[in-house]
Structure 1
């Protein structure tokens, strides 16, 4: 049975029953289903007040300022807000040339991701309820607004932090301490979602330090940015940090230990990426764990990925996490994070130094937070994917019902919670509305390329890079990072250029086109050779382009029109469907098969 658009984007929520794989740690499905249910009960709390004006708001993308409400779970514009704008790209150009940016997300998946959506490279297969492209900001012309914005004004805007107060305090955390009434979804007088506790104060191992000098638990890692949209040349810079649960940062006696934490981070990296990870030489007898999987307790210089329960091979965490794992209170399985794992992802404007160097801007466009709140087995994840196929075929008119609210965040049905904060009209960070948050879920639960719903950590730089890949972009930028390769040697970014013949899904990045393609449309061999050793040659914009895209996004902030699209561009986009034809095929004949 061929996958449908339902299978790609409409993963059923909280349907976790079914078969069990040999290659996962045992615990009963009933216990895990109960855990899932109890930990998400708060997500269905009714709002404290019902505001008729909010419920009936009918603003459009043409309005001067979109009315953003935080006390309901309405979908004002787009009932399928989880389908990204990029999915409405016209893959066949007017001249008949076929472009395939789709392979970046839609691909043969790696277990335990059971969303094998390779066929979406060939057939869009929109439902009757999703053929209309509700991302109407894509078709807006911002030429006049951008022209009216001075360089001085936009530079001052992006260089003013909306995360830190002048005294170094955390602006959003301070505001949430006395939560505004119009942010308090359940009306209990307190903020029940994530409160920022990251200080962006990194040491030479990438660990974040609190003002009193302690480790906050957050650790920065460097990665090769995901294909297309998340290249800075397309409008934004970003960074990602990870934090494991407290037990994974503690020794056997429950005391914080950075050494234990580093080892558990390396173990998680090995388990998620299904590969060996280099570590400092470690005496395994201190932890009674065979880290290098050689059958002896000796000295280990790497974590060997050896998760193969069907062959009697297991892996273990160290410290207090080991005891919890043995007790069945903390889980491990190949390709999955332990429950309690957290990520922070900040999306930012692009800053440009006087010397023309591109970097993260102090100002955030978005502060994104995710947490794995419950564990799902291989069998449960597989059953959810199979249920999607069945429901998509039986009820093609149905859209996905996303659980959550603006205060707690939204869940993806695979054990993860997502919460976001975005700029208000004055540039201060505010909680995203329910509809703005739903936008996050499609990519983080319904595509084949992710590893346990995540993008960045599986793309972490290896041990032979600066600080072993554990650093923040404020410590070292993107310049000099080699192009990523698949396990069969395929150069990933080069393959994207070859398949898409452009630097983004919308094919409106003229800088990349002029730099990497000849006049006849062939790849520029010299530019590709440079790309292999330095990704900055492709993914960083010129200073002029950076400032123009900053201005374009600022227009969206002024309008607060994020529910109509938040992609930065100046002129209307031509290569996007406003109404996708029924049975739309992409023109791709042979899909790109990813070598995991």
Structure 2
């Protein structure tokens, strides 16, 4: 659909020169003294392009479903807001990934990037066969018990050192495991994580010891939602001096003020009257629009979905918002070096160069100022450090363009702000300073396993630029529940009941017919039109204005089935072939184009109707061209029909009103 690979500048020369050459982060910057990594070429990986997500290989229904805009946009770049990677045509050397499947190889000798290596997502039956060959039977798994067993605490206990320090300071596998004790969670009502143990905190108030961590509650879109099977908690921490007044005394009011000021900087809310420096002892740190100060930390537990978990029953889960007790991953980011996006240009993008990091300790350098660490389930479900091949998937979003003396792999999208997006999407004031709860989810204790398990207690947040609800816009432009554009059966059934001519719609909601390309496209066009009729009526909302739960929360039986499919990836340890597993291959991976616009494979062989799209054609005409061996297929999104007439929007900005 588009690739996260932009302009590649002489990076192939670095592959052999830097391969497995070790240097320390201390040699690259003053941060991270003692961390030791090495460089490895992505060509060593079974999937040499893990920075191109599986979603990027899907079809767009000839533009009726524009999931591309949620990564590939110009808006943050044009606003000068912590991004130098425009991907919707603002920079010719990068291209427009809403319009083209422009997968670019690292060089003329590297494998093609147009081949879809995400086998778990593309061919779920192959994953099932692998699991069977291991002598395992997923039908015997008690997934509810599995989701309610804790694997975070045991991993946290393997972290050494002072919990007030970002780096444990010892050469050990869990060195960069975030210093956030799950026993101190959930956060208090103001979002601050407090502990009863003095060694966990910087200072104390009447509620306990302040650990420095504060929870973020934000609006997700199509990536980590309950319907996708993965839900997040996100916590931020600033260095100690941001918690201190000018005399060095710890002061909660000062810390709150600095966090609020940072929120304004990231969300582009600074005014002419805003302070130019942070408060208290951090008065020597400049407030930079769209950028985090050095030493900023993010901890990101990624949970399974437990639809009975709304925070009301700790025996199920201490977390709200369908967040299970068990985590799929623990992710971590640390701002280690200054990064000024305006100083670097697309020609300096270092994709194809080596990935600097440490497999034993589970971290990589994103090349744009941040260290990223990740810990994922082993075969038994205990957390282990991720490899660089696995961590490279994180660089797909959390990176940017830079130039260094020793180039390190960079990637990134056009929608992040300083390699992140959670704080940018945070709800305003106190609503955003609390545990992530997915629109204030409340479980329905009487719900059947096959029905919607609960409801949201929030309205659809308004996108600042669009002036309309984020969910409404997503439904109108994606006509699906995720960035794969697929529609779960629970939503299909609800729409078929709601959208009927007798209810005032122009037609009944149609099911997808995939035997004929013309009929398939006609149905997709009709579905988009009817979805826009539904949102215009406000029927994506309840009568009280809150979001309809069916668009956010899966029935319990569906959530458990999705968790079991993901557990197949866990027991086989095939993360490098994709983490998203569907019951059957999504229709968006199949060919339903008219003969006049039919897709071909690399060798020119045309796809047949309904055939699985495993690769896309590339340019082979001019070996001297910088686009040689890059993808040359159009997505079908029509730039002459911008939203709301059509679906094209190169200026989507993920900021809320």
Q: Which residue of the partner structure matches residue 343 of structure 1? A: 298
Match among 112, 122, 126 for residue 99 of structure 2? 122
Q: Which residue of the partner structure matches residue 256 of structure 2? A: 262
- Hey, what's the Cα distance between the residues in 1 that align with 2:264 and 2:172? 42
Q: Which residue of the partner structure matches residue 481 of structure 2? A: 503
> Is 2:244 the partner of 1:250?
yes
Q: Give CA deviations for 1:225-250 in whole Å, capped at 9, x if unaligned.
A: 1x212121011121111111111111
- Hey, what's the Cα distance between the residues in 1 that align with 2:276 and 2:549? 37
Q: Which residue of the partner structure matches residue 19 of structure 1? A: none
- Hey, what's the Cα distance between the residues in 2 that align with 1:567 and 1:255? 48
Q: Give CA deviations for 1:186-224 in whole Å, capped at 9, x if unaligned.
A: 995675433533332422211111232311111002111
- Hey, what's the Cα distance between the residues in 1 that align with 2:141 and 2:439? 26
> Is 2:364 the partner of 1:385?
no
Q: Which residue of the partner structure matches residue 318 of structure 1? A: 279
Match among 204, 211, 217 for residue 196 of structure 2? 211
Q: Which residue of the partner structure matches residue 602 of structure 2? A: none
Query: What displacement does 1:530 show?
Result: 3.5
TM-score (norm 2): 0.67
Q: Give CA deviations for 1:279-302 in whole Å, capped at 9, x if unaligned.
A: xxxxxxxxxxxxxxxxxxxxxxxx
Aligned to 1:214, the other structure's residue is in SS state strand
Aligned to 1:248, the other structure's residue is in SS state helix
- Hey, what's the Cα distance between the residues in 2 that align with 1:375 and 1:450? 17
Q: Which residue of the partner structure matches residue 289 of structure 1? A: none
Query: What displacement does 1:333 show?
Result: 1.2
Q: Give CA deviations for 1:446-495 in whole Å, capped at 9, x if unaligned.
A: 211111111111111112xxx44211146983422222222241322222
Q: Is the 8 A contact 1:242 1:343 kept in 2?
A: yes
Q: Is the 8 A contact 2:540 2:548 kept in 1?
A: no
- Hey, what's the Cα distance between the residues in 2 that align with 1:416 and 1:366? 19
Q: Is the 8 A contact 1:8 1:117 kept in 2?
A: no
Match among 45, 66, 70 for residue 76 of structure 1? 45
CA shift in 2, pair 1:378/1:115, >3 Å: closer
Q: Which residue of the partner structure matches residue 85 of structure 1? A: 54
Q: Is the 8 A contact 1:11 1:413 kept in 2?
A: no
- 5 Å-filtered alignment, 1:217-232, equals 217-225=212-220, 227-232=221-226
Q: Which residue of the partner structure matches residue 157 of structure 1? A: 146
> Is 2:318 the partner of 1:352?
no
CA shift in 2, pair 1:191/1:533, >3 Å: closer
- Hey, what's the Cα distance between the residues in 2 that align with 1:208 and 1:369? 17
Query: What displacement does 1:151 show?
Result: 8.1
CA shift in 2, pair 1:195/1:589, >3 Å: closer
- 5 Å-filtered alignment, 1:412-423, equals 412-423=366-377
> Is 2:527 the partner of 1:533?
no
Aligned to 1:106, the other structure's residue is in SS state coil
Q: Which residue of the partner structure matches residue 494 of structure 2? A: 515
- Hey, what's the Cα distance between the residues in 2 that align with 1:496 and 1:344? 27
Residue range with higher mean Cα deviation, 476-485 or 492-501:
476-485
Aligned to 2:571, the other structure's residue is in SS state helix
Match among 353, 367, 370 for residue 330 of structure 2? 367
- Hey, what's the Cα distance between the residues in 1 that align with 2:272 and 2:368? 21
Q: Which residue of the partner structure matches residue 328 of structure 1? A: none
CA shift in 2, pair 1:102/1:347, >3 Å: same
> Is 2:606 the partner of 1:594?
no
- Hey, what's the Cα distance between the residues in 2 that align with 1:574 and 1:4? 20
- 5 Å-filtered alignment, 1:50-65, equals none
Q: Which residue of the partner structure matches residue 167 of structure 1? A: none
- 5 Å-filtered alignment, 1:236-247, equals 236-247=230-241
Q: Is the 8 A contact 2:7 2:347 kept in 1?
A: no
CA shift in 2, pair 1:399/1:512, >3 Å: farther
Aligned to 2:634, the other structure's residue is in SS state coil
Query: What displacement does 1:505 show?
Result: 2.6
Q: Is the 8 A contact 1:410 1:437 kept in 2?
A: yes
Match among 343, 352, 358 for residue 405 of structure 1? 358
Q: Is the 8 A contact 1:8 1:115 kept in 2?
A: no
CA shift in 2, pair 1:265/1:189, >3 Å: closer
Q: Is the 8 A contact 1:423 1:430 kept in 2?
A: yes
CA shift in 2, pair 1:107/1:535, >3 Å: farther
Query: What displacement does 1:9 show?
Result: 9.3
CA shift in 2, pair 1:39/1:537, >3 Å: same
- Hey, what's the Cα distance between the residues in 2 that align with 1:267 and 1:354? 33
Query: What displacement does 1:127 show?
Result: 2.0
- Hey, what's the Cα distance between the residues in 2 that align with 1:425 and 1:4? 31
Q: Which residue of the partner structure matches residue 564 of structure 1? A: 577
- Hey, what's the Cα distance between the residues in 2 that align with 1:346 and 1:565? 19
Q: Is the 8 A contact 2:7 2:346 kept in 1?
A: no
TM-score (norm 1): 0.73
Contiguous gaps of at least 5 residues in structure 1: 16-32, 48-54, 56-71, 165-170, 179-185, 276-304, 326-330, 392-397
- Hey, what's the Cα distance between the residues in 1 that align with 2:11 and 2:298? 23
CA shift in 2, pair 1:538/1:87, >3 Å: same
CA shift in 2, pair 1:544/1:173, >3 Å: closer
Match among 411, 423, 427 for residue 457 of structure 1? 423
- Hey, what's the Cα distance between the residues in 1 that align with 2:170 and 2:260? 41
Query: What displacement does 1:43 show?
Result: 6.3
CA shift in 2, pair 1:529/1:79, >3 Å: same
Q: Which residue of the partner structure matches residue 45 of structure 1? A: 37
Q: Which residue of the partner structure matches residue 286 of structure 1? A: none
Give the RMSD, CA atoms, in angstroms: 3.6
Match among 271, 277, 288 for residue 306 of structure 1? 271
Q: Give CA deviations for 1:238-272 in whole Å, capped at 9, x if unaligned.
A: 11111111111112122322111101000000111
Q: Which residue of the partner structure matches residue 65 of structure 2? A: 99
Query: What displacement does 1:535 show?
Result: 6.2
- Hey, what's the Cα distance between the residues in 2 that align with 1:372 and 1:409? 13
Residue range with higher mean Cα deviation, 228-237 or 500-509:
500-509
- Hey, what's the Cα distance between the residues in 2 that align with 1:568 and 1:473? 24
- Hey, what's the Cα distance between the residues in 2 that align with 1:307 and 1:377? 21
Aligned to 2:565, the other structure's residue is in SS state helix
Aligned to 1:361, the other structure's residue is in SS state strand
Aligned to 2:376, the other structure's residue is in SS state strand
Contiguous gaps of at least 5 residues in structure 2: 15-24, 89-95, 106-111, 162-168, 198-207, 311-315, 400-411, 442-455, 500-508, 511-525, 590-612, 619-631, 640-647
Q: Which residue of the partner structure matches residue 235 of structure 1? A: 229
